[in-house]
Amino acid sequence: MNSKYLESVDFSRHERWLIRALGPEVVLLILNADGDVIWNESHPLAPTLAAQIAGKPEGLAADIQMLGLPEGRAAFYRQLGLTKDGPLGWGAVIFPVQTGEGQALYLDRLAELSDDMFDGIFEEHHHRADLEMMTEELSLRYEELHLVYAVDHHIQEHSGDYRKVFASLLQSTADHMNVDVVAFVRPGGDFCLHATSLSKPIHNIDLVLVEMRGDLFRFVQASGETMVMNKIDDPRRNYIFTNMPYKILSSPVRSGVTMDALIVLLNHADKPDFSNSDRKLAEVLANQLSGLSNTYLLLESMHDFNEQMAKALIEAVEAKDPYTRGHSERVNFLSMEIGKALELSQEDLDDLHWGSLLHDVGKIGIPDAVLCKPSALTRDEYTFIKVHPERSYDILRHIKHLEDAAVGARHHQEQYDGKGYPLGLKGDRIPLNARIMAVADTYDSITSSRAYRPGRSHEVAMKELERVAGAQLDPWLVGVFKEIVAAEPEWLVRFNIRRDKD
């Protein structure tokens, strides 16, 4: 129990009680664990009494003891009580020495009352310390709950974008804990995000982040424990954050039994030391981010697998017709540009992404003689072509993650006036994603080269889009696309789209 709470005890109350019992000539003195008088230190006999108590063996002071003092005075004293760090301090009662009949009874009563009072002082200190520790514990629990809530809040706010979740959570932590830098470091995949709430600038922040990914990560990984480095002369600075006088608190983020990431809190040297409470909060944050990180690693892995599978399917389609190479990726890109301009939700953007990327996968089942024919198609050959949206749907709908995306792929050949295929849907009955894909698909089909003609210019494509708006295409979405291209986006050059000279 820490003796810092001793000075918070109401000694005046105990002294008043003593005076009421024994008279106004008794004086209470309190000494702390270092032997310094902290109550009634101005009393003329305080230095003498303190010196005598300090000169006694500690063991003799566990029970009430009596000391003779100058000026016809004496004192009873004893330890106030023992804490885990040793004696809490000493209490002493100075009283006038009496002679004659009744002296023994007076001393017995005085010793008993002093003993009871010293017990009362220790109990009050004990309760104050318990209350303070309980307050600190409740404060820490609140901070922990705040962090746990913050994780859930940021997940809900940025659902689907794990980088935004991490960035937002780190910024919230930096602001809430008043930490100069909070970083999440995962060297595998070179993933390092940080947030700042700077008390003053850090001009070498890039070097600091490099150090976090390097020696600091390796040290914490090897120890497997939270590391706190507050002191400028900490010997670990010989090989961690050399010549960087920052205070560091770093906690491992575990994935099962292995550590693949860490949380780092960094402060300027003139800020307070990281405390045990800060350490616990960092470990709570690391524990929360462990589950979050593992979830996103799994999602990232699934996303990579889906991308690879999609590319394999697209490659299979484009291998049949070299002239369509890159078509699916361009339609995907243009569709996403329209979707972002419309500020679609992340879920809808995901469906648009996969649907537009795989909208032509059904062409795998179309004979090469039809798909690559350089001349006009016969009625039956065109019928084969019209089958591909349904084939795309049949392929994609069996993948649960792509069920909603498959709907857009199925209907991207519908026409706004109801004359398209496969179901002849009209107007807003056509799914929005399908209408977006139709605009992107039409634009790319016009500007891309085919076996029977070279790609036409951007200006020609835009005139054609405007001509078929309201018939083949949704006029509202054609208008959105016109606003996008009016800004002369860089992809016009990247996709090698021809431009008509003025």
The torsion angles phi and psi of 92, rounded to 5 degrees, stand at -140, 145
Q: Which residues of the chain have pLDDT under 70?
A: 1-4, 55-62, 130-163, 189-190, 291-307, 309-310, 313-324, 365-375, 382, 384-385, 450-452, 502
272 torsion bin: left (phi>0), alpha (psi -120 to 50), beta (else): beta
CA distance 396 to 411: 13
Closest CA to 417 of 466, 468, 470, 464: 470
Residue 419, pLDDT score: 93
Residue with tokens 């859930």: 152
Q: Give me the residue spans of the domains in the chain.
A: 3-129, 158-298, 321-494
Residue with tokens 């431009």: 499
Closest CA to 327 of 468, 457, 443: 443
Q: Which long-range contacts (CB under 8 A, 24 or more apart) does 324-328 make?
A: 324/360, 324/448, 326/448, 327/360, 327/444, 327/445, 327/448, 328/356, 328/357, 328/358, 328/359, 328/360
Whole-angstrom CA distances from 182 to 44, 249, 250, 260 are 55, 10, 10, 17
Whether 3-129 and 158-298 share one fold: the answer is: yes
Contact 9, 128 (CB under 8 A): yes
Residue 158, pLDDT score: 47
CA distance 154 to 498: 44
Residue 490, pLDDT score: 93
Q: How many other C-beta atoms lie within 10 A of the C-beta of residue 181?
A: 23
Residue 98, pLDDT score: 80
Q: How many other C-beta atoms lie within 10 A of the C-beta of residue 478?
A: 24
**pLDDT tens figures, 453-472:** 788 999 999 999 999 999 99
Q: Per CATH, which fold does 3-129 belong to?
A: Beta-Lactamase (3.30.450)
Domain spanning 158-298, CATH architecture: 2-Layer Sandwich (3.30)
May I ask the CATH class of domain 321-494?
mainly alpha
Closest CA to 188 of 296, 308, 306, 305: 296
